Chains A and B, each alone.
Chain A
Protein backbone atom coordinates (compact mmCIF):
# COMPACT_ATOMS: atom_id res chain seq x y z
CA UNK A 1 0.00 0.00 0.00
CA UNK A 2 1.11 3.51 -0.70
CA UNK A 3 1.96 5.92 2.09
CA UNK A 4 2.49 9.66 2.12
CA UNK A 5 4.62 11.43 4.70
CA UNK A 6 4.81 15.11 5.53
CA UNK A 7 7.53 15.54 8.11
CA UNK A 8 6.78 19.16 8.96
CA UNK A 9 3.65 19.48 11.11
CA UNK A 10 3.99 23.25 11.16
CA UNK A 11 5.86 25.87 9.15
CA UNK A 12 5.92 29.63 9.14
CA UNK A 13 7.05 32.17 6.58
CA UNK A 14 7.33 35.91 6.44
CA UNK A 15 5.01 37.64 4.02
CA UNK A 16 6.62 38.03 0.56
CA UNK A 17 9.21 35.37 1.34
CA UNK A 18 9.51 31.85 -0.07
CA UNK A 19 8.73 28.63 1.76
CA UNK A 20 9.07 24.97 0.82
CA UNK A 21 6.83 22.22 2.19
CA UNK A 22 8.14 18.66 2.08
CA UNK A 23 6.39 15.48 1.04
CA UNK A 24 7.70 11.98 0.52
CA UNK A 25 5.80 8.91 -0.53
CA UNK A 26 6.29 5.22 -0.80
CA UNK A 27 5.10 3.24 -3.80
CA UNK A 28 6.15 0.41 -6.06
CA UNK A 29 4.18 1.80 -8.98
CA UNK A 30 5.76 3.65 -11.88
CA UNK A 31 2.76 5.66 -13.02
CA UNK A 32 0.80 7.81 -10.63
CA UNK A 33 -0.30 11.34 -9.82
CA UNK A 34 0.70 13.64 -7.01
CA UNK A 35 -1.22 16.59 -5.65
CA UNK A 36 -1.04 19.42 -3.19
CA UNK A 37 -4.30 20.51 -1.61
CA UNK A 38 -4.80 23.59 0.52
CA UNK A 39 -7.30 23.71 3.38
CA UNK A 40 -7.85 27.24 4.76
CA UNK A 41 -9.83 27.88 7.94
CA UNK A 42 -13.02 27.65 5.90
CA UNK A 43 -12.27 23.87 5.70
CA UNK A 44 -12.70 23.80 1.93
CA UNK A 45 -10.17 21.50 0.26
CA UNK A 46 -8.70 23.38 -2.69
CA UNK A 47 -6.47 21.86 -5.32
CA UNK A 48 -3.22 23.81 -5.56
CA UNK A 49 -1.17 21.86 -8.07
CA UNK A 50 -0.87 18.40 -9.62
CA UNK A 51 1.96 16.42 -11.18
CA UNK A 52 1.95 13.36 -13.40
CA UNK A 53 4.75 10.97 -12.52
CA UNK A 54 5.63 10.34 -16.16
CA UNK A 55 6.40 14.02 -16.70
CA UNK A 56 9.88 15.11 -15.80
CA UNK A 57 9.03 18.78 -15.93
CA UNK A 58 7.98 20.21 -12.60
CA UNK A 59 4.47 21.63 -12.46
CA UNK A 60 3.96 25.34 -11.86
CA UNK A 61 0.85 27.35 -11.05
CA UNK A 62 1.55 31.04 -10.60
CA UNK A 63 3.40 31.40 -7.27
CA UNK A 64 3.23 27.66 -6.58
CA UNK A 65 5.71 25.19 -7.98
CA UNK A 66 6.84 21.68 -7.15
CA UNK A 67 10.15 19.91 -7.04
CA UNK A 68 9.37 16.37 -8.14
CA UNK A 69 12.16 13.88 -7.60
CA UNK A 70 10.81 10.54 -8.77
CA UNK A 71 13.80 8.43 -7.82
CA UNK A 72 13.85 9.90 -4.34
CA UNK A 73 10.03 9.73 -4.13
CA UNK A 74 9.93 13.33 -3.08
CA UNK A 75 7.37 15.97 -4.01
CA UNK A 76 7.93 19.33 -2.34
CA UNK A 77 5.82 22.46 -2.76
CA UNK A 78 7.43 25.88 -3.09
CA UNK A 79 5.36 28.97 -2.42
CA UNK A 80 6.95 32.16 -3.66
CA UNK A 81 6.04 35.69 -2.59
CA UNK A 82 3.95 34.31 0.27
CA UNK A 83 0.71 36.10 0.99
CA UNK A 84 -1.45 36.19 4.10
CA UNK A 85 -4.09 34.21 2.22
CA UNK A 86 -1.66 31.32 1.83
CA UNK A 87 -2.03 30.50 5.52
CA UNK A 88 -3.67 27.08 5.64
CA UNK A 89 -3.16 23.37 6.08
CA UNK A 90 -1.43 21.84 3.09
CA UNK A 91 -1.95 18.19 2.22
CA UNK A 92 0.14 16.14 -0.12
CA UNK A 93 -1.77 13.35 -1.87
CA UNK A 94 -0.98 10.35 -4.04
CA UNK A 95 -3.21 8.70 -6.59
CA UNK A 96 -2.47 5.55 -8.50
CA UNK A 97 -2.74 5.51 -12.25
CA UNK A 98 -5.92 3.96 -13.43
CA UNK A 99 -9.56 4.68 -13.60
CA UNK A 100 -10.90 6.48 -10.56
CA UNK A 101 -8.45 5.33 -7.99
CA UNK A 102 -8.79 6.79 -4.54
CA UNK A 103 -6.27 9.14 -2.98
CA UNK A 104 -3.83 8.63 -0.14
CA UNK A 105 -3.31 11.79 1.85
CA UNK A 106 -0.42 12.86 4.04
CA UNK A 107 -1.01 14.18 7.57
CA UNK A 108 -0.71 17.80 6.51
CA UNK A 109 1.51 20.80 7.23
CA UNK A 110 0.06 23.88 8.88
CA UNK A 111 1.53 27.01 7.27
CA UNK A 112 1.44 30.35 9.03
CA UNK A 113 2.23 33.56 7.17
CA UNK A 114 3.64 36.34 9.32
CA UNK A 115 2.96 39.96 8.35
Chain B
Protein backbone atom coordinates (compact mmCIF):
# COMPACT_ATOMS: atom_id res chain seq x y z
CA UNK B 1 0.00 0.00 0.00
CA UNK B 2 1.24 3.50 -0.77
CA UNK B 3 0.27 4.83 2.62
CA UNK B 4 -1.53 8.10 3.21
CA UNK B 5 -0.81 10.55 0.42
CA UNK B 6 -0.87 14.31 0.86
CA UNK B 7 -0.41 17.09 -1.63
CA UNK B 8 1.20 19.46 -2.00
CA UNK B 9 4.20 18.78 0.25
CA UNK B 10 4.99 22.46 0.44
CA UNK B 11 2.77 25.46 -0.15
CA UNK B 12 3.76 29.10 -0.02
CA UNK B 13 1.03 31.66 -0.47
CA UNK B 14 0.22 35.22 0.32
CA UNK B 15 -2.16 36.42 2.96
CA UNK B 16 -5.73 36.49 1.72
CA UNK B 17 -5.31 33.71 -0.79
CA UNK B 18 -7.28 30.48 -0.76
CA UNK B 19 -5.33 27.35 0.10
CA UNK B 20 -6.47 23.77 -0.53
CA UNK B 21 -4.69 20.81 0.99
CA UNK B 22 -5.43 17.32 -0.27
CA UNK B 23 -5.35 13.86 1.26
CA UNK B 24 -5.82 10.33 0.01
CA UNK B 25 -6.23 7.85 2.89
CA UNK B 26 -5.13 4.27 2.90
CA UNK B 27 -7.55 2.13 0.92
CA UNK B 28 -10.08 0.46 3.17
CA UNK B 29 -9.68 2.92 6.04
CA UNK B 30 -12.96 4.44 7.13
CA UNK B 31 -11.62 7.14 9.45
CA UNK B 32 -9.72 10.20 8.32
CA UNK B 33 -8.16 12.87 10.53
CA UNK B 34 -6.72 16.31 9.86
CA UNK B 35 -4.09 17.66 12.26
CA UNK B 36 -2.14 20.88 12.47
CA UNK B 37 1.34 21.03 13.99
CA UNK B 38 3.02 24.21 15.21
CA UNK B 39 5.87 24.88 17.58
CA UNK B 40 3.62 26.76 19.96
CA UNK B 41 0.62 24.45 20.07
CA UNK B 42 2.07 21.06 19.11
CA UNK B 43 -0.14 18.59 17.29
CA UNK B 44 -3.79 19.58 17.23
CA UNK B 45 -6.72 17.63 15.85
CA UNK B 46 -8.77 19.82 13.54
CA UNK B 47 -11.49 17.49 12.32
CA UNK B 48 -12.15 13.84 11.66
CA UNK B 49 -14.46 11.88 9.40
CA UNK B 50 -16.04 8.45 9.59
CA UNK B 51 -17.36 6.98 6.35
CA UNK B 52 -16.98 10.41 4.72
CA UNK B 53 -19.12 12.11 7.37
CA UNK B 54 -17.59 14.75 9.67
CA UNK B 55 -17.80 13.49 13.24
CA UNK B 56 -15.99 16.11 15.26
CA UNK B 57 -14.93 19.50 13.92
CA UNK B 58 -14.50 21.19 17.27
CA UNK B 59 -10.81 21.67 16.57
CA UNK B 60 -11.35 23.75 13.47
CA UNK B 61 -10.03 27.15 14.50
CA UNK B 62 -12.54 29.37 12.74
CA UNK B 63 -14.86 29.75 9.81
CA UNK B 64 -11.99 30.32 7.46
CA UNK B 65 -11.26 26.61 7.71
CA UNK B 66 -13.41 23.98 6.02
CA UNK B 67 -12.95 20.31 5.27
CA UNK B 68 -14.72 17.94 2.97
CA UNK B 69 -14.61 14.27 2.16
CA UNK B 70 -16.60 13.70 -1.02
CA UNK B 71 -15.67 10.02 -1.19
CA UNK B 72 -13.73 7.36 0.67
CA UNK B 73 -10.48 8.06 -1.15
CA UNK B 74 -10.22 11.84 -1.01
CA UNK B 75 -10.43 14.70 1.44
CA UNK B 76 -9.62 18.40 1.30
CA UNK B 77 -8.84 21.02 3.91
CA UNK B 78 -9.45 24.54 2.69
CA UNK B 79 -8.41 27.84 4.22
CA UNK B 80 -10.05 30.96 2.84
CA UNK B 81 -8.76 33.58 3.30
CA UNK B 82 -5.38 32.46 4.60
CA UNK B 83 -3.48 34.39 7.27
CA UNK B 84 0.18 34.27 8.40
CA UNK B 85 -0.84 32.57 11.65
CA UNK B 86 -2.09 29.62 9.62
CA UNK B 87 1.51 28.76 8.77
CA UNK B 88 2.06 25.23 10.06
CA UNK B 89 2.49 21.63 9.01
CA UNK B 90 -0.84 19.98 8.26
CA UNK B 91 -1.10 16.23 8.59
CA UNK B 92 -3.70 13.83 7.36
CA UNK B 93 -4.04 10.43 9.04
CA UNK B 94 -6.30 7.46 8.49
CA UNK B 95 -7.29 4.30 10.27
CA UNK B 96 -9.71 1.46 10.11
CA UNK B 97 -12.33 1.29 12.80
CA UNK B 98 -11.17 -2.23 13.45
CA UNK B 99 -7.63 -1.07 14.11
CA UNK B 100 -6.27 1.11 16.86
CA UNK B 101 -3.36 2.83 15.14
CA UNK B 102 -3.44 5.93 13.01
CA UNK B 103 -1.25 6.13 9.94
CA UNK B 104 0.02 9.55 9.00
CA UNK B 105 0.76 11.15 5.68
CA UNK B 106 4.00 13.06 5.12
CA UNK B 107 2.37 16.40 5.89
CA UNK B 108 2.02 19.67 4.01
CA UNK B 109 4.15 22.57 5.13
CA UNK B 110 2.12 25.72 4.64
CA UNK B 111 3.71 29.15 4.72
CA UNK B 112 1.48 32.20 4.50
CA UNK B 113 3.38 35.40 3.83
A binding-site residues for B, Cβ under 8 Å: 33, 35, 37, 42-47, 50, 52, 91, 95, 99-100, 102-103, 105-108
Q: Give the distance to chain B from A39, nearest Cβ to Cβ, in Å.
A: 9
Choose among A44, A100, A102 the residue that contacts B104 (Cβ–Cβ < 8 A): A44
CB contacts (< 8 Å) of A33 on chain B: these are 100
Q: Is the CB of B43 within 8 A of A44?
A: no
Q: Is the CB of B95 within 8 A of A105?
A: no
The closest CB in chain A to the CB of B32 belongs to A100
Choose among B30, B43, B109 the residue that contacts A105 (Cβ–Cβ < 8 A): B43
CB contacts (< 8 Å) of B54 on chain A: these are none
Q: Interface size on B (CB < 8 Å)?
A: 22
Q: From DSSP, what is the main secondary structure of chain B's interface residues?
A: strand
Q: Is the CB of A47 within 8 A of B89?
A: no
Q: Is the CB of A43 within 8 A of B101?
A: no
**Number of residue pairs spanning A and B whose beta carbons lie under 8 angstroms apart:** 42
Q: Contact flags (1/0) for B72-113 with A, using CB distance below 8 Å? A: 000000000000000001010101010011111011010000
Q: Is the CB of B107 within 8 A of A105?
A: no
Q: Is the CB of B102 within 8 A of A103?
A: yes
Q: Give the distance to chain B from A83, nearest Cβ to Cβ, in Å.
A: 22
Choose among A35, A46, A99, A108 the residue that contacts B42 (Cβ–Cβ < 8 A): A108
Q: Is the CB of B50 within 8 A of A100?
A: yes
Can you name 18 extra interface pairs (CB under 8 A) apart from A44-B104, A91-B43, A102-B48?
A37-B104, A43-B107, A44-B106, A45-B91, A45-B93, A46-B104, A99-B97, A100-B30, A100-B31, A100-B50, A102-B33, A102-B45, A103-B45, A103-B102, A105-B43, A106-B42, A108-B42, A108-B43
